[in-house]
Structure 1
Amino acid sequence: MAGPAADPEAQLLSFQRFRALSKPRLAYGYGSRSLSQLREREFGRLAGTVYLDHAGATLFPQSQLTSFTKDLMENVYGNPHSQNITSKLTYDTVEQVRYRILAHFHTTLDDYSVIFTSGSTAALKLVAESFPWVSCPGNSGSRFCYLTDNHTSVVGMRKILAARGITSTPVRPEDLRLVEERDEMGSHPSCQPSHLFCYPAQSNFSGSKYPLSWIEDIKCGRMSPVNLPGKWFVLLDAASYASTSPLDLSTHQADFVPISFYKIFGFPTGLGALLVNNRVAPLLKKGYFGGGTAAAYLAGSDFYVPRSSVSERFEDGTISFLDVVALKHGFDILEHLTGGMENIKQHTFTLAQYTYAMLSSLHYHNGAPVVRIYSDSEFSSPDVQGPIINFNVLDDKGFIIGYSQVDKMASLYNIHLRTGCFCNTGACQRHLGLSDNMIKKYFEAGHVCGDHIDLIDGQPTGSVRISFGYMSTVEDAEAFLKFIKAISLHSSGGQSVSKARTGEPGAKSTEDKAQDEHAITNSRCLSPEEDDHADSRSWNNSHPLHPPLREASSTWQSPVEEPEGGLNRDPELPVVTKICLYPIKSCAAFEVTKWPVGNQGLLYDRSWMIVNHNGVCLNQKQEPRLCLIRPSIDLQEGRMVIKAEGMEPIEVPLEEASGRAQIYQSKVCADRVNTFDCGEEISKWLSKFFGRPCHLIRQSSNFQRNAKKKHGKDQLSSTTASLSLVNEAQYLLINTSSVMELQKQLNTSDENGKKEFTMEDLNSRFRANIIMNGTRAFEEERWDEVSIGSLHFQVVGPCHRCQMICIDQNTGQRNQDVFQKLSESRERKVNFGVYLMHTSFESSAPRFLSVGSQVLPVVKEDEESQSSPAAQRHQGHTS
C-alpha cells in the first residue's frame, strides 16, 4: 500500500525536531557509545559512501577482523574430526560458539541444537530433505504451506517435495485465519501426517514483521493455513529479522529456525545455521551421509549408524571451522559496540521511521507524491516494522521512474541501494499488483530476475529498497533524502518539490552540491564507454583480411574503397567526421583518419584490458584514472606505445609473444574470455601508476567470443558476429547533431556555477568508434541498416548508458550533470548512440573505415515516413 497522504506544502522536519515531537521519544545511537566515533573507527572505509543495503548484507567492523586475525595468528586450529591437540582446540571452540549462538537467541542446548550450514538457503534445503513427510492416499498426506511473502529459497523447497508426491500450498497473509476447532475432513485412519508451515519473521521485501505468536497459534491449532488433519510444525525464516532484531526462542519456540550470519555481522559470508527444536530433532530423516556424520558404517554392505548428536548427524563433511571461530569475535564486537540487539532494533527503526515519514511528505509542486511506498505498516512501532523501506519513485504526472534509472542516479551520489524484486516474487506481485500472467509476459519479453529491465509497457517489474544497519547514521538518511529531492527536481522539469529546507524552492544547497562529487565504485558492466570493438588477432600474413605489416600505414589505399570526396559525394548525406579505437578497454581513445577493419571490428580495438590482482577487469567506474592511460598503435613498427602523465612511455608488441605466457580466464559482461598476460614489465608500469597490483592482458587469438543474438537481428550469425573484449557489439556510432542537442540542454541550464560542456568533452565521454554529422539529432535510432564507404552494417540497437559518461576523459573527474540531463531529456532511458555489427564481407580484400566516408542509412520500415529526405532517397542504394 502507498504511504499516507500529506499536505503538498508540508515541510520536512529536521531529524532533531522529528525526534522531539515523537512520543515516546525515539532512540538513536547507543547511549554513551559515540556513533560518530564508531563510524570513524570501525567503518572508515565508508567515508563519502552512503550504504543502504544492509538487508542484502550488513558491513563488518574493523575490530572484528583485527580480533579474528589475531586469534588465527596466535592459535593453531586443526580439523575438528581429528583427535590431536590442535583439533581438540577447534572442536571445543566450535562447541563454545554453539552455546553463544543459542544464548544470542535466548535459549540453550536443552531446547535447541545448532546445525551449521553454508547459509540460510542450505538450512531450508536441509529441512525439505529431512522433514518427516508422509505420502498418503488421496489428499490426506503431508502438506507444505508457505506464506507468499517468503524468500525464493523457501518457495524452492516445493521442488524437492513435488518429487516425493507432497503437495505445496501458497498462503497469502490475509488468508491466515483463527479457527474454533479443526475439521478432520475424513482422514485416512492409518495416516496421521506431519505438516509444515513456513513464514518469515520479517519480510525481506517490505520489512513488515509477522506476529511471532503465529508459531504457537499454528502448532496448537488456533490458526490454520489449510484445514487438514494431522500435526503442524512451524519453520520460522529468521534471516532478515535476526539481522537487526532480538529473537527470543524461549518464548517463541519455532521448530526450525534458519539464520544467516553475514546478515548480522557482515563477516563471515557463506556460513549459516539451522536451529532445530530438540523435540522435533528425532523425527528428522537422514538420507545422504558424509564424513563425520557416521558412528559406524560398512563400505561393502548397507550398514550405517548415524551419530547421536543431531548437529553431528547433519553436518556432512568438515564444517567451515575457521568461519565458526570468526563468529565468536562477531558476537563479542557487536555486543561491545552496541550493547545488544534490542538497541540495534530501536536505533535502526528510528532511522527508518524518520526516512519513511519524510519520504511520505515529499510532493511535487502540483501536489503529486514523489514516491509510492510499499508497506503493510505505517512505521508506528519496531514490533511491526523493520528498518526496510520499499518504494518506487514517481514523476510529477504519477508515472513510475524505473528502478534501474533510480539505481544509476543513486550511483552518481555514491548511494548504494538495491533494486528489483529482492528474491521475493510473491511480495513483489502483491505490492506492485503484478498478476501471474504479467510475470510470464515479462519473462517472454526478456526480463529475468536481477536484470535492469525495469519497465515493460509502462508497468514496473520491481522496485527500490533501502535498509539500515546498526552503524547507519542520520547523515545517511539525510543524504538519501537529498538524493530523492534532487532526482524529483529533474523529474518535475526543474520545478520545485515541497521540502524541508529554507531558501529558494528548488535551489541546491552546499550539501546537495557536495553530493555531486561522489560516484559509484561498483556497477553492472553494460557501458559502451569501455566497450565494443576490435580484432584482437595479430596483423599477420596468414589472416585473409589482414595485409602484411610492412604495408601498414595510415595512407593505404584499398582497391575496393569508395571515393571519399569530390564528384561522387552527395552533400545531403551524413559523413564520418572522426574514427576512434580504444586498444585498451576503458583507457583513452586513439584517433585515426583511416583504419583497417577485421572480423571483430576496427583492428586492435579493445584487444587488451587491465585487470587487478584477482584477474578482474578494471573499468572507469571503479578506477577513473584509466582514461589517463593513452595507448597508440604503430602498425608499421608492430607496436603499441602506452603513455601516462608522470610515467616514461612503454611499448607492447602487437604480435603475440612466442613461448608460454600466463593464461587468464577472464570475464567481460558475464562472457568467459581466454586471455594471456602481456608480461612483467608492463605489469610493473601499470602497478606503479595505479598504486596497486595490475596486469595487462590480451584476448587470445585462438579464442572466439560470439555476439549474443539480441534485438531480433537474425542476420548476425555466430560465424560473422565475433567480438573482442567489447561489451555489446563491434562498433558504436554517435551523431554530432545528437551531441549538439545535449550540449545545448546542458549549457542553457539556469543553475548557477554550472560547468560549460564543449563538444570535444561530450564526444569523448561517449567513447564512440564512429562519429558522424549531417543528419538530425537522434535520427540514427530509427535506422535499421547503414553503409559507410564500402562497408555494410546492421544497427543492433541503442546504447544504454551508464555512469561512465559522468567522467571527464581528459581529467578523470566526475560530474553527474551529463547523466542527469540525458535521463531527463531522453525519457529516462539514457540511450545515446547506436551499436553496429558488420554482417559479412563480400570478398577477402582489405577493408577500411575512413574519415570523410559517406553514411547511407536504411530507415526501419515502420518509421520510413518520418525519415529525412536524403535517407529516403538513398534507401534503394545501401544494400
Structure 2
Amino acid sequence: MAGGAAEPGSEPQAFQRLPDPGAPRLTSGYGRSSLRELRDREFCRLAGTVYLDHAGATLFPQSQLTNFTKDLMENIYGNPHSQNVTSKLTHDTVEQVRYRILAHFHTTPEDYSVIFTAGSTAALRLVAEAFPWVSRGPESSGSHFCYLTDNHTSVVGMRNVVLSMNVTSAPIKPEDMLSVGEQGAAADDPHCQLPHLFCYPAQSNFSGTRYPLSWIGDIKSGRMRPVRAPGRWFVLLDAASYVSTSPLDLSVHQADFIPISFYKIFGFPTGLGALLVSKHVAPLMRKGYFGGGTAAAYLAGEDFYIPRPSVAERFEDGTISFLDVIALKHGFDALERLTGGMENIKQHTFELARYTHGALSALCYPNGAPVVRIYSDSEFSSPDVQGPIINFNVLDDSGHVVGYSQVDKMASLYNIHLRTGCFCNTGACQRHLGLSNEMVKQHLQAGHICGDDVDLIDGRPTGSVRISFGYMSTLDDAEAFLKFIIATRLCSPGDQPVLQASSREVGASSVENNCYSPQEGACTDPGVCSDSCPSVDTTGMHQSLSEATGTQQTLPETAAGVLHGDLGNHVVTNIFLYPIKSCAAFEVTKWPVGSQGLLYDRNWMVVNHNGICLSQKQEPRLCLIQPYIDLQQRIMVIKAKGMEPIELPLEEDGEQARICQSKVCADRVNTYDCGEKISNWLSKFIGRPCHLIKQSSNFRRNARKTSGKDPPPGTTATLSLVNEAQYLLVNTSSILDLQHQLNASDGPGQEESFPMKDLVSRFRANIITNGTRAFEEETWDEISIGSLHFQVLGPCHRCQMICINQQTGQRNQDVFQKLSESRKRKVNFGVYLLHASLDSSSPSFLSVGSKVLPVLKENTQCPESLSFQRHQGALA
C-alpha cells in the first residue's frame, strides 16, 4: 500500500480528500524534492513500517549519520580538557555547536548560555538543585515551586528536591491558571525579592496541547501569578516536546530556563540534552557538587573550591559527551537541508494531525456510536494551539473502552508503531480520563504500575493510545493508520464501515465507505515469507522414550495438532513440548516431567548477534525449524526444509561450553553457546547471523507470580526459558468456539479457513484437554492429571504470535482480532500451570488419555463462552 505499510491482503481504495488549503502541503514535501523522494533516499528503513511515535523519539536521516561518520573518520577529536591540537579542535567545534543551538532558537550568547546535560530530565534536575530557593521560616513564607499538572514526570519530580529544602510546592491545573494568576497579582510587593519558579510545558506530551508562550512575559512582569506569593518570579519552559516540530523564538519569549532533548529533534544522538539559561538568572544559580573540569581551583585537603567563570563550564561536571555534541552539527545541517527549517516542519506535521483528527473523529459504528474517544483541549484549528499529537482510546459499539494494550498488539500486526499508557504524564492522564487520586492509588494496589500493560481495571482505562507525526511523516502514514482502525473496528464479515460527518468541519478529508478485508492467509512480511516459503511436514516421527526403569517404548505416529475425540470428558488429548523457544512443536503421547516442566521444554533458544532472544514476532521462519528429541540416543535432531538435518547432544560438555548470559522476560539467565556448527546452520536458514544457546543446568530461575498469584508456599518450582510459567493448558472446547466464529463466513462446501489443526498449533500449549464448555478452564483453581498436581496461575494474555500460521510462517491478523472482539477487551486464551508438588523420588510422566480433575475457584461462575452454547448444535 502507499506509504509502505505492510498490511496483509488486497489494497483498499484510496481515501477521498476534500479540497483544502492544507492539502498541497501534505503531498509536496519540502522545496525541490518531494516527500516520497526524501523518504526513499533518507529513510528507506521505514519501508513496510508506519512509524507514529515521533513524540517518543523521532528518526534520524541516513545523510546525518553518513556525514557524522565521515567527520569522525577524517578528524581527530580529543578530550576538550587537554591542551593539545586535537583537544583544541574539539573545544572549538563544541563552542561552534553552542552558537548553532542558540541561533536555532533565535538568540545569542549575550542573552543565553547552553549547558549540555545527559537529557532534558538531567537539565530539570540541575535547575531543581541549583535554583536559589529560600526555605520557609518564622519570618518568611519562603520560595514557591509551582508547576502545571500537565507537566512531564521529570518536572513533577523536581518537587522532591524542593521539599527537601523546606520549600512550598504547588500544583496548578491548566483550567485554573488564569484565575489563580489574577488573584495572585494583587498580593505583589515591589520590595520583596523572594525567588519563585513556575514550570509549564510549551506542548503537552500527552495531548499535544500548546500552552501560550505569552505566559512567560505575563508571569515575569507580574500580570499573572500562579499563586498568591509576592516576590520575583522565574519561568521554566519545558520545550522538549514542543521544539521537536516547531520553532521557538527566545528573543520574543524569554523564559529563564529551557530544557531540551536533542533526539526529539534529530533522532540522533540519544542521551544528550541541554539547559538554556538566561544570563539574568545564571549568576543566582548555586553550585553544589563539582566534577572534573568545573573548578578553576580547589584543594583536596581543605574546603576550598573556586568554580570556573562561565555558567556552562561551572555546571558541566566531568567531560561532556563531546562526540555526541559534534553530531548535533550534522543534525542541524540535515534538518535545514531536507526541510528548509522548523516553520515548514510545524506546518507539515500539524496538517497531518488535523487531517487524521478530522477523519478519526468522523468514524462511527453502524449504530452511530463513535469508534474513538479523543482527548484534546483544542479543535485542531491552528498549530499555535495544537501540536502533531493525537491521544485517544478506541471504543466498542457499546461505548466501552478497548484496552490500549489490545490496540497496540493489533497495530503491531499492521506494522504500525504507536505509543500507549500514560506517557510519563499522570496529571494529564488523570484530567482527560477522569481518574481521581484515589483511583490511581487503587490501580496501584490492583497491581498496575506505569509502563505495564494493565490497561483496564473495573472497566475503566488506566491509559490511552497516542500517535504523533514527525517531519518525515507522510499522508500515506496517516491513511495507513486510519485504514487500520477501519479494518479492525468496522470490517466484520458482511459489514461496511460507517462514516458520519461531525458537527464541526471534518478537516482535510473524509474517508470513503470502503471496507478493507484482509486476504485470507496473506503474508504480511514479504521479506520473510514468499511463494518460496517452505511448507512444513507436520506428521509425527517415531520417538523413543527411555523411562527410569531402563525400558524403551516406541510411540505411534501422530499428526501434530490432531485432536483425539474418543477419550471422554476432561482428559489430556495432546501433549506438546517446544525444545527450542519459538520453534516448532514436538508432539508426544508420554513424556517425563522435570522440576521445570516437561523435560527439555524450552531449554534452548535462538539469539541474534547481540545475544538478544529471537521470537516469531521478529522472525516468523522460526516456526519452520523442527526439533526432535531422542532420549535413548541423548540427542536433539533439528530439521528444516531445504536444510540437511543437524544433531546436538542433549547435555553440554562442561569443558567446551562457552558460558554467556541472556534475558527472558526481564529475567537474566545463564546459558552456554551450542557452537559454531549449529550457529552457521541457523544463520543460513534464517538469513542473518544468530546462535543457539541452552540454559545452563546449574542455573535456577525461580517461578514468579502470575496473574496476581504467588507460587505455592514451600515449593521449589523453577522455570526453563519459558516466558511465564512451567505449563500452558488449552481446552478443546475453547478452540472449537473460536474456530466456529472464524469460519462462520465460509460458505457451504468450502474448505475451512481455519482448520482445527492450524488453531491448535497457533496457541503453542503444552497440554490440550477436551472439556464440556468453552473457557471453563478459567474457573479452575487447581487440577490433577494422573498423579501430578498443578496450581492454575491464571490466564495467558495473548500477543500477535497467534496470528502466525505454524505450518507456513505466514501472518493473518484475523485470529487475534476475532479473539479480541469475542473475549470482551482482553485477549486471553489458555491458562498457566505450575507444579504444586513433585515427588522427585520416582520418575513422573504426563500421558495422553490421563484424566483431568479440576477444582473450581471459590465463589466463581463459569465464564461466558464466546458463542459455544448458541452454536453447539452446529459444532456437533
Instruction: Give the Cα–Cα distance (whole angstroms) in 2 for the partners of residues 57 and 737 of structure 1.
Output: 45
Partner of 1:205: 206
Which secondary structure does the structure 2 equivalent of 1:663 belong to? strand
**1:82 is aligned with what amino acid?**
S
The structure-2 alpha-carbon separation of the partners of 1:867 and 1:370, relative to structure 1 and needing over 3 Å to count, comes to closer
Q: Which residue of 2 aligns with 1:560?
A: none
Measured in 2, the distance between the counterparts of 1:866 and 1:307 equals: 70
Work out whether 1:314 is the aligned partner of 2:315.
yes
**1:553 to 1:640, Cα distance in 2 relative to 1, 3 A:** farther
The equivalent of 1:482 in structure 2 is 483
Q: Is 1:767 aligned with 2:773?
A: no
* Matching residue's letter, 1:803: Q
Contact 1:412 1:516 in 2 (8 A): no
Distance (Å, rounded) in 1 between the aligned partners of 2:694 and 2:25: 61
Report whether the alignment pairs 1:804 with 2:801: yes
Instruction: Determine the structure 1 residue equivalent to 2:856.
Output: 859
Q: Provide closer, same or farther for how the CA distance between residues 102 and 22 of structure 1 changes in structure 2, counting only shifts above 3 A.
A: closer
* Partner residue, 2:132: 132
Equivalent residues of 1:196, 1:235 under 8 A apart: yes
What is the Cα deviation at residue 683 of structure 1? 1.6
For residues 384-440 of structure 1, the C-alpha deviation after alignment (integer angstroms, 9 at most, x for no partner) is 110000011111111111111111111111111111100000000001110000000
Report the counterpart of residue 339 of structure 1 in structure 2: 340
The reply to whether residue 672 of structure 1 matches residue 668 of structure 2 is yes
Query: Partner letter of residue 830 of structure 2?
Result: G
Residues 245-279 of structure 1: per-residue CA shift (max 9 Å, x gap): 00001111100000000000101111110011111
Match for residue 578 of structure 1?
574
**Match of 2:780?**
783
- Partners of 2:862 and 2:404 in 1: how far apart? 34
Does structure 1 retain, via aligned residues, the 8 Å contact 2:373–2:395? yes
Cα distance in 2 for partners of 1:127, 1:866 equals 54
2:591 corresponds to 1:595: yes
Supply the distance in 1 between the matched residues of 2:612 and 2:752 (Cα, whole angstroms). Answer: 34
User: Is residue 361 from structure 1 mapped to residue 355 from structure 2 by the alignment?
Assistant: no
Shift of the alpha carbon at 1:551?
A: 5.5
Range 469-478 or range 699-708, more displaced = 699-708
**What is the CA–CA distance in structure 1 between the aligned matches of 2:285 and 2:427, rounded to whole Å?**
29
Matching of residue 632 in structure 1 with residue 628 in structure 2 = yes
**Structure 1 pair 35/864, CA: closer, same or farther in 2 (3 Å)?**
closer
- Closer/same/farther in 2, CA of residues 14 and 724 from structure 1, 3 Å limit: closer
User: Aligned-pair distance for 1:673?
Assistant: 1.3
Partner of 2:868: none
The one of 628, 634, 641 equivalent to 1:645 is: 641
The offset of 1:858, in angstroms, is 1.4
Q: Counterpart of 1:182 in structure 2: which amino acid?
A: A
CA contact (8 A) 1:661 1:677 kept: yes
Distance 1:640 1:211 in 2: 66
Amino acid at match of 1:497: V
1:177-188, aligned counterparts within 5 Å?
Answer: 177=178, 178-179=181-182, 182-184=185-187
- Contact 2:627/2:639 (<8 A) preserved: yes
Question: Of the candidates 772, 786, 792, which is equivalent to residue 789 of structure 2?
Answer: 792
Secondary structure of residue in 1 paired with 2:758: helix
Structure 1 residues 156 and 553 mapped into 2: Cα distance closer, same or farther (>3 Å)? farther
Equivalent residue runs for 1:133-212 within 5 Å = 133-138=133-138, 140-177=141-178, 178-179=181-182, 182-184=185-187, 192-212=193-213
Cα-to-partner distance string for 1:635-667 (whole Å, 9 max, x where unaligned): 111111111222222222112212253322211
SS, match of residue 859 in structure 2? helix
Superposed, 1:651-670 pairs within 5 Å as 651-659=647-655, 661-670=657-666
Q: Secondary structure of 1:223's partner? A: coil
Q: 2:521, 2:579 → 1: CA distance?
A: 33
* CA–CA separation in structure 2 for the residues paired with 1:429 and 1:376: 14
Q: For the Cα contact (< 8 Å) 1:141–1:166, is it kept in 2?
A: yes
Query: What per-residue deviation string (whole Å, max 9, x for no partner) do you get for residues 34-93 of structure 1?
Result: 100000111111111111000000011111111111111111111111111111111111
Number of positions where the alignment pairs a residue of Structure 1 with one of Structure 2: 819
Q: What is the CA–CA distance in structure 2 between the aligned matches of 1:867 and 1:13, rounded to whole Å?
A: 38
Q: TM-score, normalised by structure 2?
A: 0.89
- What's the counterpart of residue 97 of structure 2? 97
SS at match of 2:203: coil
Determine if the alignment matches structure 1 residue 508 to structure 2 residue 516. Answer: yes
Secondary structure of residue in 2 paired with 1:673: strand
**Per-residue deviation at 1:28?**
5.6
Check conservation: 1:787, 1:855, Cα contact below 8 A: yes
Asked if structure 1 preserves the Cα contact closer than 8 Å seen for 2:715 and 2:836, the reply is no
* Contact 1:733–1:769 (Cα < 8 Å) also in 2: yes
Which secondary structure state, in structure 2, belongs to the residue aligned with residue 430 of structure 1? Answer: helix
Paired letter, 1:743: Q
Q: Residue 42 of structure 2 aligns with which residue?
A: 42
Alignment partner, residue 71 of structure 1: 71
Sort the Cα spacing of 1:23 and 1:76 in 2 relative to 1 into closer, same or farther, 3 A. closer
- Whole-Å separation in 2 of the counterparts to 1:124 and 1:493: 54
Is the contact between residue 52 and residue 467 of structure 1 (CA under 8 Å) also seen in structure 2?
yes
Deviation (angstroms), 1:365: 1.5
Q: 1:410 to 1:47 in 2, by over 3 A?
A: same
1:350 aligns with 2:351: yes
Q: Contact 2:706 / 2:793 at 8 angstroms: preserved in 1?
A: yes
Counterpart residue type for residue 75 of structure 2: N
Deviates most, 586-595 or 674-683: 674-683
What displacement does 1:513 show?
Answer: 5.4
Superposed CA deviations along residues 459-498 of structure 1, whole A, max 9, x for unmatched, are 1101110000000000000111111112221589946422
Aligned-partner residue type, residue 757 of structure 1: F
Q: Cα offset for 1:233? A: 0.4
Q: Secondary structure at the match of 1:385?
A: coil
Q: What one-letter code is carried by the residue in structure 2 that aligns with 1:64?
A: Q
Residue of structure 1 equivalent to 2:387: 386
Partner of 2:329: 328
Tell me the residue number matched to 1:54: 54
Q: Deviations over 1:105-144 (max 9, x none)?
A: 0111111111111100000000001011111315610111
Q: 1:374 to 1:516 in 2, by over 3 A?
A: farther
Distance change >3 Å, CA 313–CA 829, structure 1 → 2: same
Conservation of the 8 A alpha-carbon contact between 2:115 and 2:316: yes
Q: Is 2:759 the counterpart of 1:737?
A: no
Q: How far does residue 719 in structure 1 lie from its aligned partner after superposition?
A: 3.7
Letter paired with 2:601: D
CA shift at 1:747, angstroms? 1.1
Q: In structure 1, what is the equivalent of residue 817 of structure 2? A: 820
1: CA distance between counterparts of 2:299 and 2:613?
A: 50
Contact 1:208 1:376 in 2 (8 A): yes
The one-letter amino acid paired with 1:277 is S
1:723 aligns with 2:724: no
CA distance in 2, matches of 1:616, 1:749: 41
CA distance in 2, matches of 1:714, 1:728: 12
d(CA) in 2 for partners of 1:59 and 1:252?
28
- Please state how far the C-alpha of 1:516 moved relative to its aligned partner: 7.1
Q: Shift of the alpha carbon at 1:550?
A: 6.0
Alignment RMSD (CA, Å): 3.0
Deviations 1:511-558 (A, max 9, x none): x6599754799xxxxxxxxxxxxxxxxx99xxxxx97696565579xx
Matches within 5 A, 1:695-714: 695-714=691-710
| % same residue | 73
C-alpha deviation, 1:628, in angstroms: 1.2
2: CA distance between counterparts of 1:173 and 1:415?
A: 32
What SS is found at the alignment partner of 2:490?
helix
Please give the secondary structure, in 1, of the residue aligned with 2:213. coil
Q: Deviations over 1:358-393 (max 9, x none)?
A: 111111112111111111110000111100000111
Between the aligned partners of 2:643 and 2:579, the Cα distance in structure 1 is: 19
- Once the two structures are TM-superposed, the CA of residue 836 in structure 1 deviates from its matched residue by 0.7
Q: Is the 8 A contact 2:616 2:801 kept in 1?
A: yes
SS in structure 2 opposite 1:706?
Answer: coil
Q: Determine the structure 1 residue equivalent to 2:837.
A: 840
**Conservation of the 8 A alpha-carbon contact between 1:293 and 1:306:** yes
Equivalent residue, structure 1, for 2:85 = 85
In structure 2, what is the equivalent of residue 874 of structure 1? none
What residue number does 1:530 align with?
A: none
Structure 1 unaligned spans of 5+ = 1-11, 522-538, 541-545, 557-568, 869-879
For structure 2, the residue ranges without an aligned partner over 5 or more in a row are: 1-11, 502-508, 528-543, 557-564, 866-876
**Secondary structure of the equivalent of 1:197?**
strand
